[in-house]
Amino acid sequence: MTDALLGGSRLHPHWSTKRLRYLASINDRKLSDSMPADAPLRYMDISSVNGDGSRQEPEEMLFENAPSRARRLAREGDTAIATVRTYLKAIAFVDEGVRDCIWSTGFAIVSPGAELHPRFLYYIARSSWFVAEVRRRSVGVSYPAVNADDIADILCPVPPLDEQRRIADFLDDEIARLDELAQLRSRLHAYLEERWQAIVWSAVATRDGVGWVTLPLKQVAEIRVSNVDKKSVDGQTTVRLCNYTDVYYRDTIAPDQQFMAASATREQIESFRLRRGDVIITKDSETPDDIGEPAFVAESAPDLVCGYHLAVLRPRSDAIDGRYLHWSMSSSWLRGQLAARATGVTRFGLRTEVIANALVNVPPVDEQRRIADLLDREKEQNDAVASRLERQMKVLEERRQALITAAVTGQLDPSSYSVSALAARRWLSSPPPRNSTSRI
């Protein structure tokens, strides 16, 4: 079997292969049902494991409050492989931090035998071909799941133990470096968002100049709360519906974007048809922090209508510029006002009068347009740097996955790790270009 292919990855010619069932045991320990009701436990669910193998903190609870799926036991050195929602790639190494945890029955707990080094087993489970094989054997569309027996049937590479240990040590070191670079990029991305909020705050939340006034929103814009639902009703006019997610995930709404089809009455179309210069905000959400997310309507369209759970703010042209209103609504100052006045328990919402009485700083219209122009440019430059960071994080993830797969199949020799790979690491370590934006 020296020329065996593992999901398209050619195996090292001097390595052997075996089915996982002959190399490890799976789910051989479980929690006793006779546990005292008041016994404390730490629980690991599928959501406790991230797609990169990192973990969230275990949930602490008493046995009597634990879900029925809290039954798997693991030893230090085991690998936990999610058998449900397998597209999430929730695969974790059981180290000393979680060895005393109870794991969900949604995991297959794989305990290495004498022929497998524990960390090498973990990296096998994280390799591209193993993940693809798990997904190939999964059944179901929206909630794909795989049996532990199917995982046990997957063919695995088996180099000598000392070589497994050397590969695992190499990957521990290299993956730690790549993860450190990814965390740096993530922190820079968060910094960009904080920086952007500070720029917006300084531009619209601080009265700075002659002619500035602070007014309730109702004095500068007409507020219309939509009642158009996601339905198509016979006898009504077919429209394209701008929904909650369209506003939540976009800064700008334009007719050339994709929208769902629905229907509306003539009166609804008249009231909630979107016009150039409108600002749409989210009116309801599961958390107060997601209320008030704005989007600017860049162009009108006769069939584009605002949907339910949203409010249209239509600027009074003699009082406020639409783009300036959009940036004002995106500021933490105005968002904070709305979040503080949202009501609800499991779902939060804003009454129309709360939106109407939110305070906005209003400079002269010419100055509003100058501020909006500056913020447009700042946003474009900020987004360009953010996009580069996102591309680099994607490259890091791809390199991480390729490195694991190459190492555990013998295509990469840790002792002769290439100079080009080291050069790539240095490139990924370099900071993004400084954002040469103007100060407002």
DSSP run (H or E) holding 324 = helix 322-330
Residues of the chain with CATH 3.90.220.20: 5-159, 213-362
DSSP annotation of 22 = G
CATH of domain 213-362: 3.90.220.20
Q: How many CB atoms lie within 10 A of CB 89?
A: 19
Per residue in 167-204, pLDDT tens?
999 999 999 999 999 999 999 999 999 999 999 999 99
Check if the beta carbon of residue 58 is closer than 8 Å to that of residue 42: yes
On the question of pLDDT at 272 being above 90, the answer is yes
Residues in CB range of 199: below 8 A, 6 or more apart: 375, 378, 382, 437, 440
Check if the beta carbon of residue 311 is closer than 8 Å to that of residue 342: no
CA pair distance 191, 389, nearest whole angstrom: 12
Per residue in 414-438, pLDDT tens?
877 654 455 455 545 555 555 444 3
Q: Check: CATH 3.30.70.260 for 5-159?
A: no
Per residue in 7-62, pLDDT tens?
656 677 789 999 999 999 999 999 988 889 999 999 999 999 999 999 999 999 99
SS3 350: coil
CA pair distance 49, 79, nearest whole angstrom: 12
CA torsion 253-255-257-260 (nearest 10°) is 100
Residue 50 buriedness (CB in 10 A; 0-12 / 13-18 / 19+):
middle
DSSP annotation of 219 = G
